[in-house]
Chain A
């Protein structure tokens, strides 16, 4: 029996608009309004400085573990900037900048990383799912939300974020497969930051790209320079438009780099070389985008950036203070029984009463009333 060829596309495109030297490909430059460009830049800078401040707070023991985003600002913001507020964002745990873009307050993040459940509260008017720690499991929630949006005849789309390590998880594959089968309006944004804690991208898969995984599920996949805000934006815009008009899901692989540690509990010196990090510092998305705004768009100047830095510093400081104030009001641990069920079952009522009793007993033992 002969072996006949089945023609399956084996080509994956790589998109770069603003290269690492900051040179612009005019033909590919997306149309973005000046206001939007400046807003994106502001959030990039804020995300970077907030990361630094969080690290500082963590090292002082004022907050717990968190996952820094430094180096990945363009991959996140280029993508979410395309969304409408009624669209959905389904994050993993390394999307601080994207969450801030979507309206999450810095004080809620500080509260959350200080170990208070209240910090995870999602406001009623924000279509974000909460942070999801188990890797890749949330991709299916994005597919379900997107299916439901279509079922209710809405044209809202869903964008979900995850890393290179997630593409090894079964739920990544189930998510892409279900999205393909039901043609749901989901945009899968992979922030390929090269490292899943200590395991490099090369050890996650034999595939040449992560974007090509889409082909097996019959959906479009594209690789972009994830440190190039314009490339990420263009790819996301195309994917969102396709999803919104009924064309189904897309996988976008943003090639980027985690410049800091996996989380504050991790020491990257154990597994990667400083030269590699420095190589990627040279591809930093922030100065690259700033150069574009200064030289190509004439929207920014060194002075304007300095003023912005001062403004952002004050904004972050105010958020830290608000978080401290909120924390001081959140001493009551009995809330831990709330939100487990819609109504407290009898056993939880009994256990809550037990803790309440202990608390009032402690006060008496301490000589308080």
Chain B
């Protein structure tokens, strides 16, 4: 067990998997000598050499497209797009090929690759470095869309994503890279994709969230318990697509009240799908309308005002109190 940050946990996952499987190749901009702009791949080029850690030309489509070819050959590329805001330059490679090659070739080829990319606000960055566009990728059949919420789960999920036979886009909440530490076991740990997690048990209200928004959700749950005596159940989705609705449907059947919290814009965001599932599968258990605490339907403002955009503890607590009042 070591007490490490998410950056270190992701690095551990890559290092241990690369030791086990020489088919795992890292590629991306600045992932080699520089160790990645967030240092997730630090030390890996020294350990595994330039044949396994490729500093690529500055071209996102090239990185993802080349990874698809490597994966079709039978390797397991893990490529990095430096910020998810630049992933659109490879969007067509993910949508038109990574997610379709298994289907198009009727099972002859598959694309066991991972696209790692930091997403989300809260680090006072420039434009294009703070958005949360997981809905784009959750909408693609054939692709899996995963978002960890802390160091330990991030490490386990990345191992599972690398071993998965299908392409996985792995959004890393950059605000959490170094925000806190967790005990992470040295020995191997995996976490199944497509399974959400019960993080806090409660009776009165279900909060459904993921990624960077898990922290304010848990803080809000704790404030509601201390100040209002409200017992909140908190679920971490972990995988956005394919969405695991069993756990949250079951939970809402118990609590009768549901809130979805994400920093992505509200309209057509993951919350819209979650609410739909609840309406389809738990409608008669609902005591009150479902609430969404999300980013606004605007572009995330530059950093001096991003805190007004991002859901925070106060906004979540206020919304929860409303739900309990009605």
Q: How far is the CA of A131 from the CA of B68 in the complex (A)?
A: 15
A144-B71, A148-B70 known; A341-B109 Cβ under 8 A: no
Q: Chain A 161-196 against B: per-residue CB contact (8 Å), 1 yes, 0 no?
A: 000000000110011011001100000000000000
Judged by a CB distance under 8 angstroms, whether A129 is at the interface is yes
Q: Chain A 53-66 against B: per-residue CB contact (8 Å), 1 yes, 0 no?
A: 00000000000000
Contacts of A171 in B (CB 8 A): 61-62, 65
* CB-nearest residue of chain A to B59: A174
Q: How far is the CA of A55 from the CA of B255 in the complex (A)?
A: 63
Q: How far is the CA of A118 from the CA of B103 in the complex (A)?
A: 10
Q: Which of A23-31, A134-142, A207-215, A352-360 forms part of the interface with chain B?
A: A134-142
Contacts of A145 in B (CB 8 A): 69-70, 72-73
Say how far A63's CB is from chain B's closest CB, in angstroms.
18
Q: Chain B 77-107 against A: per-residue CB contact (8 Å), 1 yes, 0 no?
A: 1000000000000001100110001111111
Are A137 and B65 in touch, CB under 8 angstroms? yes
Judged by a CB distance under 8 angstroms, whether B141 is at the interface is yes
Contacts of B97 in A (CB 8 A): 132, 134, 137-138, 141
* CB-nearest residue of chain A to B246: A346
Judged by a CB distance under 8 angstroms, whether A2 is at the interface is no
Interface centre among A144, A152, A174 (most CB of B within 10 A): A144
A141-B97, A170-B61 known; A120-B69 Cβ under 8 A: no
Q: Within the complex, which residue of A141, A148, A181 is in contact with B74, where a contact is CB–CB below 8 Å?
A: A148
Are B106 and A117 in touch, CB under 8 angstroms? yes
Contacts of A151 in B (CB 8 A): 25, 51, 75
Are A148 and B75 in touch, CB under 8 angstroms? yes
Say how far B38's CB is from chain A's closest CB, in angstroms.
24
Judged by a CB distance under 8 angstroms, whether A340 is at the interface is yes
Measured as residues with beta carbon below 8 angstroms from the partner, the interface class of chain A is 35 or more
Q: How far is the CA of A118 from the CA of B288 in the complex (A)?
A: 48
Contacts of A347 in B (CB 8 A): 242-243
Judged by a CB distance under 8 angstroms, whether B56 is at the interface is yes
Contacts of B75 in A (CB 8 A): 148, 151
Q: Within A191-230, which residues are at the interface with B (CB < 8 Å)?
A: none
A140-B66, A144-B67, A171-B61 known; A178-B103 Cβ under 8 A: no
Q: How far is the CA of A178 from the CA of B61 in the complex (A)?
A: 11
Question: Is the contact region of chain A dominated by helix, strand, or loop, or is it mixed?
Answer: helix
Judged by a CB distance under 8 angstroms, whether A342 is at the interface is yes
Contacts of B70 in A (CB 8 A): 144-145, 147-148
**Chain A-chain B contacts (Cβ-Cβ < 8 Å), number:** 136
A137-B92, A137-B97 known; A120-B105 Cβ under 8 A: yes
Q: How far is the CA of A175 from the CA of B56 in the complex (A)?
A: 12
* CB-nearest residue of chain B to A335: B106
Are B106 and A339 in touch, CB under 8 angstroms? yes
Q: How far is the CA of A348 from the CA of B141 in the complex (A)?
A: 10
Judged by a CB distance under 8 angstroms, whether B185 is at the interface is no
Judged by a CB distance under 8 angstroms, whether A300 is at the interface is no
Contacts of A149 in B (CB 8 A): 73
Say how far B33's CB is from chain A's closest CB, in angstroms.
15
Q: Within the complex, which residue of B72, B104, B194, B242 is in contact with A120, where a contact is CB–CB below 8 Å?
A: B104
Are B66 and A147 in touch, CB under 8 angstroms? yes
Judged by a CB distance under 8 angstroms, whether B142 is at the interface is yes
Say how far A86's CB is from chain B's closest CB, in angstroms.
12
Judged by a CB distance under 8 angstroms, whether A297 is at the interface is no
Are B66 and A144 in touch, CB under 8 angstroms? yes
A residues neighboring B (CB under 8 Å)? 117-118, 120-124, 129-132, 134, 137-149, 151-152, 170-171, 174-175, 177-178, 181-182, 338-342, 345-348
* 15 A-B interface contacts by CB (under 8 A): A120-B104, A122-B108, A123-B108, A134-B92, A137-B96, A141-B66, A145-B73, A170-B61, A174-B62, A178-B62, A339-B102, A339-B106, A341-B102, A342-B164, A342-B166
A-B interface, 5 closest residue pairs, ranked by CB to CB distance from nearest: A144-B69, A140-B65, A345-B242, A148-B73, A174-B62
